Chains A and B, each alone.
Chain A
Amino acid sequence: GESVGLHLPTLSVQEGDNSIINCAYSNSASDYFIWYKQESGKGPQFIIDIRSNMDKRQGQRVTVLLNKTVKHLSLQIAATQPGDSAVYFCAENPSSNTGKLIFGQGTTLQVKP
């Protein structure tokens, strides 16, 4: 079946640097995308979302970019902090006829002090 994938299983950055986590999706009909952060032993926590009629959305220290031409999604975290260390998942809603999310495998972000 179709899936959302992430390019790198692990990303290591220095505290204070910017982080970019990438995601490729395969379903061109997907109209909603979302990034989650998951810490060990906890459920996924919402970070930011974007609909297919947008190409950029900003939150507090985070920005999501959507490139529908190449079916690519990225999450940018500014001034990365130790508390940002976690596994990050992108997910897509494959059509307006379903509420389910399809998740990628995740990128582990390690922040070095």
Chain B
Amino acid sequence: DTGVSQNPRHKITKRGQNVTFRCDPISEHNRLYWYRQTLGQGPEFLTYFQNEAQLEKSRLLSDRFSAERPKGSFSTLEIQRTEQGDSAMYLCASSWGTSGEEQFFGPGTRLTVL
């Protein structure tokens, strides 16, 4: 257990529905990251926050995706109008720093879109 928690651990939804995931980072960490991982692949960067500011978004993050970290603590990732291609493991990580440093990953939320 790294100290990063994610909820729910599993989510099954029907195409077209909206889903929201939550990540609680290690409390003193200023940076929070979202990644997506599909079977057999490495995690792909989606977005990250430094405190409450969203500093970078990947081209993978379409308009249907939105992430927030309103108070610089927990974060939510919402996917609107889900598609089957959104099925993946969504990983959250946190770190303390201002450049490259160790990121602590949560267990992930596995999304299945039917």
A contacts, CB < 8 Å to B: 4, 31-32, 34, 36, 41-46, 49, 51, 89, 91, 93, 96, 98-106
B76 vs chain A, min Cβ distance (A): 18
Q: Is the CB of B102 within 8 A of A106?
A: no
Q: Which 8 A-B pairs have the closest CB atoms?
A: A32-B100, A93-B100, A103-B42, A43-B105, A100-B45, A96-B99, A44-B105, A89-B42
Assembled-state Cα–Cα distance A90/B4 (Å): 21
Cβ–Cβ contact A42 & B107, under 8 A? yes
Which of the four size classes fits the interface of chain B?
A: 20 to 34
Chain B residues within an 8 Å CB radius of A43: 2, 4, 91, 93, 105-108
Q: Could you say which residues of chain B place their CB within 8 Å of the CB of A34?
A: 100, 102-103
Structural contact, B99 and A100, CB atoms closer than 8 A: no
The answer to whether B108 touches A105, judged by C-beta atoms less than 8 angstroms apart, is no
A-B contact pairs, 9 of them (CB 8 A): A31-B99, A43-B108, A44-B91, A44-B105, A46-B102, A49-B102, A89-B43, A91-B42, A99-B98
**Contact string against A for B residues 14-45, beta-carbon threshold 8 Å, 1 for contact and 0 otherwise:** 00000000000000000101010000111111
Which residues of chain B from 58 to 114 have a CB within 8 Å of any chain A CB? Answer: 58, 91, 93, 95, 97-108
Residues B100 and A104 in contact, CB atoms below 8 Å apart: no
Inter-chain pairs besides A46-B104, A103-B44, 11 sampled, C-beta below 8 Å: A4-B42, A34-B100, A42-B107, A43-B4, A43-B106, A45-B105, A99-B95, A100-B45, A101-B103, A105-B41, A106-B40
